[in-house]
Structure 1
Amino acid sequence: MNDLSAYHRDTQALHAGRDPDANEGVVNPPVYHCSTVIFESVEELLETRRDRASGAYVGFTYGREGTPTTRAFEDAITLLEGGYRAVVTSCGLGAICASLTAFLSAGDHLLIVDSLYGPARAFCEDFLKKFGVEVTYYPPSIGDGIEALFQPNTKVVYLESPGSLTFEITDVPAITRLCRARGITTIMDNTWGSPFCFRPLSHGVDVSINAATKYISGHSDLMLGIAVCTEDKFIPVKKTASGSGYCGGPDDIYMALRGLRTLPLRMRQHQQSATRIATWLQGRPEVARVLYPALPDDPGHALWKRDFTGASGLFGLVLNACTDRQLAAMLDHMKLFRLGYSWGGYESLAVPTYPSDLRSAQKWEAPGPSIRLHVGLENVDDLIADLEAGFARLAAAA
């Protein structure tokens, strides 16, 4: 099955990146553990050098550049996201760093959303600024108002929707429309939605990034990133990622391909369970508000409904005023919502969050502490009981 373009994404997720006819009928692509590639002649070796120099990247020259296992994963995610080609990296942050540095030089200006992933913000502050890139943060709700922030040297606008901790939705098409008119490259972190719930390139984005560590893998057992590019953006990202050493390991890539096969089913269950729990939380007296764009009364719901085809299991909640002691009493003894960073696996997680520490363009206002929940694939009644017990501990610690 070569041309999958006419099929639904569920079918594409199952068949993309597989070619049993080329692999002795084996269903899954083989894992290539590779550093060295052998060539039969000087002419063949020189041809691969020309391939790299031209930016075609058709053949295989060295393990860091990729293998057939890498290509299978890149092809699969490219199909799901509707891109030209993709670049695998060692982690999601690697895909972010490679994509940003591919299009930025000293003296350039970067516009980046104020609600972005914390390590990406740290990269901008600790590295990009150090090397002469001017960084300006914009409010996630800015929409076409971003035009007022453009400068003659603005080269990249970076988006993340919804934001990592506050889950604010950005009007992606409004921003990309203005950027395209000015030749500004747009890069978006699509990890929350995954290729199943949002396709950034169809909304005008140039480079779509996924931390495959999370939903694509789905099992909390690997580190991997991938950047899906339009045709004119592929070569800069590929060259930067390869030159920076951001290569993914073959076993991690294989496991991400295996996780991809169940992505549609898992995402539907994550959304169904998260929606039920988020709705339940809205009725709790301890909760000031729930931060989940799939809820009808969320401020970003209209944009989410217009642009997204689903939601993930990651969302936030703001508690009414309580002490640090009460918050710790609630979270320390959870049985199912265990304390842990990352998300996107089968298991539920909870972490306290501090959005105000990571905002500069728009102040974050909240009456009490914030919590980020990842709703996994456990029974929803069991998860609600776990939260209920946590609220009881919070009250008892007053």
Structure 2
Amino acid sequence: MNDFPDELHPDTLAIRAGTLRTEFGEHSDAMYLTSSFCVGSAEEAALKFTNQMPGYIYSRFSNPTVTAFEQRLAALEGAERAIATASGMSAILALGMAHLKAGDHVVASSGLFGATIQLFNAYFVKFGVQISYASPTDPAAWAAAIRPNTRLFFLETPSNPLTEVADIAALAEIAHAHGALLAVDNCFCTPILQQPLKLGADLVVHSATKYLDGQGRVLGGAVAGSTALVEPVYLFLRTAGPSLSPFNAWVLLKGMETLPLRMRAHCDNALKLAQWLQAQPQVARVYYPGLPSHPQYALAQRQQRGGGGIVSFEVHGGREAAWRVVDAVQLMSRTANLGDVRTTITHPASTTHGRITPEARAAAGITEGLIRLSVGLEHDEDLIADLRRGLA
């Protein structure tokens, strides 16, 4: 693997970091589709299995293509190490299994992805982990939720789907003062727009399925941070096996080469759509961190390098009106995935957050009239025309 100096620009790291070249001198990243790796002797096998000799053993926990993806993401996040997983949800599972035990307490953001809330409430609690929720925009609420057994703060910023922006530095200070870790899901911003570790977070989680790939092709996830904190995640992955496949890692490496360019374009398009939506009489409210009307606009300006590609808006008329908008568009893809070059549209209350209780949705501010857009890279005028059709 190539080591690069820290001063390289993220645009360069997205292309060059983690590049592996063998004796064949391949210019592009190689794909190692093999389940296992041979050794030269019994002694070499013993040394590798006991971590006394570097090298690859079995692709459940060691594969050159996956390592290249991990090193590229770590370089972009400013992390000592990253570990790849099969999906974003398996990354959160691996983090929890590595750093939590029965009797521990977690303070989580009330503005989390529905599947993350389901993982916490339906599965982590089965193993004796206690969960409390606090508003992502109210650091005092997080401080008040702390118990003697609090071990982890977990949040998304911006949140899904209301794009609430949490003050990472403030929450890191509160967590560390009480001996807890802060983990941040950086899916919406990616390291191009935000680097939580540099703001005080201990661990960063990714659904690489989203912007890191950028074209809706494969699933993947990752956990990044210090070597000391990522090593337990690796040990869980080695044993339990929610691993990233080499093929998916190779696709993600190709996607990350254009990540800086795509994120800037996503931001430009999203801002134009948010500004247009704000002027429409059928729209009650627009949620986008790049708008001065956003409650955390000033914080987003300090903490992020752009507003991101997610725009949510609430229409008058509740679910019936929202579904009419979703059903009327002709260009946008009706799917709950996000981070794609293709714009997607969904109704969170009946899709991404449909499995959580109505009370939990209400607490998170997810109304029946809410629509979430993941703004892609089509021409902005075509996207506006499609939304105009839906709002007509």
Hey, what does 2:27 align to over in structure 1? 27
Hey, what does 1:106 align to over in structure 2? 102
Equivalent-residue separation in structure 2 for 1:244 and 1:290 (angstroms): 42
Hey, what does 1:396 align to over in structure 2? none
Distance 1:286 1:78, change over 3 A: same
Aligned residue among 335, 338, 343 for 1:340: 335
Asked whether the 8 Å contact 1:273–1:375 carries over to 2, the reply is: yes
Hey, what does 1:42 align to over in structure 2? 42
1:251 aligns with 2:252: no
Asked whether the 8 Å contact 1:115–1:358 carries over to 2, the reply is: no
Hey, what does 1:12 align to over in structure 2? 13
Q: What one-letter code is carried by the residue in structure 1 that aligns with 2:386?
A: D
Equivalent-residue separation in structure 1 for 2:111 and 2:163 (angstroms): 8
Report the count of equivalent residues. Answer: 386
Hey, what does 2:264 align to over in structure 1? 268
Q: What one-letter code is carried by the residue in structure 2 that aligns with 1:384?
A: I
Aligned residue among 276, 279, 283 for 2:275: 279
**Greater CA drift, 354-363 or 152-161:** 354-363
**Greater CA drift, 1-10 or 126-135:** 1-10
SS in 2 for 1:83: coil
Shift of 1:163: 0.9
Identical residues among aligned pairs (%): 31
SS in 1 for 2:84: strand
Shift of 1:332: 1.1
Asked whether the 8 Å contact 2:153–2:181 carries over to 1, the reply is: yes
SS in 2 for 1:278: helix
Shift of 1:166: 1.4
Equivalences for residues 203-352 of structure 1 within 5 A: 203-320=199-316, 322=317, 324-352=319-347
Asked whether the 8 Å contact 2:319–2:368 carries over to 1, the reply is: no
Equivalent-residue separation in structure 1 for 2:358 and 2:218 (angstroms): 27
Aligned residue among 152, 159, 165 for 1:163: 159
1:117 aligns with 2:113: yes
Hey, what does 2:382 align to over in structure 1? 382
Distance 1:287 1:8, change over 3 A: same
Hey, what does 1:130 align to over in structure 2? 126
SS in 1 for 2:83: strand
SS in 1 for 2:169: helix
Distance 1:185 1:59, change over 3 A: farther
* Structure 1 length-normalised TM: 0.92
Equivalences for residues 178-193 of structure 1 within 5 A: 178-193=174-189
Shift of 1:365: 5.2
1:147 aligns with 2:143: yes
SS in 2 for 1:112: strand
**Greater CA drift, 352-361 or 70-79:** 352-361
Equivalent-residue separation in structure 2 for 1:210 and 1:104 (angstroms): 19
Asked whether the 8 Å contact 2:110–2:364 carries over to 1, the reply is: no
* Structure 2 length-normalised TM: 0.94
Equivalent-residue separation in structure 2 for 1:335 and 1:375 (angstroms): 15
Equivalent-residue separation in structure 1 for 2:41 and 2:201 (angstroms): 42
SS in 1 for 2:204: strand
Structure 2 residue ranges without an equivalent (≥5): none
Equivalent-residue separation in structure 2 for 1:23 and 1:75 (angstroms): 20
SS in 1 for 2:224: strand
Shift of 1:134: 0.7
Asked whether the 8 Å contact 1:167–1:292 carries over to 2, the reply is: yes
Q: What one-letter code is carried by the residue in structure 2 that aligns with 1:98?
A: A
The CA deviation string for residues 292-327 of structure 1, in whole angstroms up to 9 with x for no partner, is 11111200111111111123211211112x154333
Distance 1:179 1:40, change over 3 A: same
Q: What one-letter code is carried by the residue in structure 2 that aligns with 1:118?
A: G
Asked whether the 8 Å contact 1:196–1:310 carries over to 2, the reply is: no
Asked whether the 8 Å contact 1:194–1:215 carries over to 2, the reply is: yes
Equivalent-residue separation in structure 2 for 1:163 and 1:359 (angstroms): 18
Equivalent-residue separation in structure 1 for 2:148 and 2:42 (angstroms): 47
Structure 1 residue ranges without an equivalent (≥5): 393-398
1:67 aligns with 2:68: no
Shift of 1:243: 1.8
Equivalent-residue separation in structure 1 for 2:112 and 2:380 (angstroms): 29
